[in-house]
Structure 1
Amino acid sequence: MQDAVKNLLLVLVTLFPIVDPLGGSPFFLALTREYSPEERKALSWRIAINSFFLLVATYFVGTYVLAFFGISLPVVQVGGGLIVIATGWTLLKQRDDEKQEVQKTVQPQDSIRRAFYPLTLPLTVGPGSISAAITLGANAAHHHAYHPLTILAALIGLVLIAISILLCYGFADRVARILGATGMTVITQLSSFFLVCIGVQIAWNGIKALLESMTLHVG
Structure 2
Amino acid sequence: MHPYIALFFTKLLLVLAGLIPIVNPLGAAPIFLSMTARYTSAERAVLARRIGIYCFCLLLGSMFVGTYVLDFFGVSLPIVRVCGGLLVAAAGWKLLNDSNAGDSSEPIGDATETIETPQRRDELRQRAFFPLSFPFTVGPGSITVAITLGVGIHDESAHRVVLPLASVAGVAVVALIVYLVDRYADKALSLIGRTGTVVFMRLSAFILLCLGAQILWDGASGLAGDFIATHPWATH
TM-score tier, shorter chain, comes to: 0.7 to 0.9
SS in 2 for 1:104: coil
- Among 121, 125, 148, the alignment partner of 2:126 is 121
Identity over aligned pairs, percent: 22
Residue number in structure 2 paired with 1:84 = 88
Match of 1:161 among 155, 161, 178: 178
8 A Cα contact 1:106 1:118, kept in partner: no
Query: Structure 1 residue 111 and structure 2 residue 116: aligned?
Result: yes
* Residue pairs, 1:1-219, within 5 angstroms: 3-13=14-24, 16-17=27-28, 20-29=31-40, 40-41=41-42, 43-62=43-62, 63=66, 64-96=68-100, 103-104=108-109, 108-111=113-116, 113=118, 116-122=121-127, 124-127=128-131, 129-131=133-135, 133=138, 135=140, 136-142=142-148, 144-145=150-151, 151-168=168-185, 172=186, 175-219=188-232
Give per-residue Cα distances to partners, 1:133-173, cap 9 Å, x unaligned: 252223332355256555544432221111122213xxx4x
Q: With structure 2 as the length reference, what TM-score do the two structures score?
A: 0.69
Q: What is the root-mean-square deviation in Å for CA atoms of aligned residues?
A: 3.4
Matched letter for residue 173 of structure 2: I
The CA deviation string for residues 29-59 of structure 1, in whole angstroms up to 9 with x for no partner, is: 3xxxxxxxxxx54x44432221112122222
Inter-partner Cα distance in structure 1 for 2:17 and 2:100: 36
Task: Report the CA distance shift for 1:209/1:160 in structure 2 as closer, same or farther (over 3 A).
Answer: same
Cα pair distance change 1:7/1:116, threshold 3 Å: farther
Normalising by structure 1, we get a TM-score of 0.74
- Which range is displaced more, 105-114 or 193-202? 105-114
Contact 1:92 1:189 in 2 (8 A): yes
C-alpha distance 85-213 of structure 1, shift in aligned 2 (>3 A): same
1:120 shift after superposition = 4.4
SS at match of 1:126: helix
How many residue pairs match? The answer is 203
Alpha-carbon shift at residue 112 of structure 1 (Å)? 6.2
Write the distance in 1 (CA, Å) between the matches of 2:21 and 2:125: 22
Report how far residue 3 of structure 1 moved.
4.2
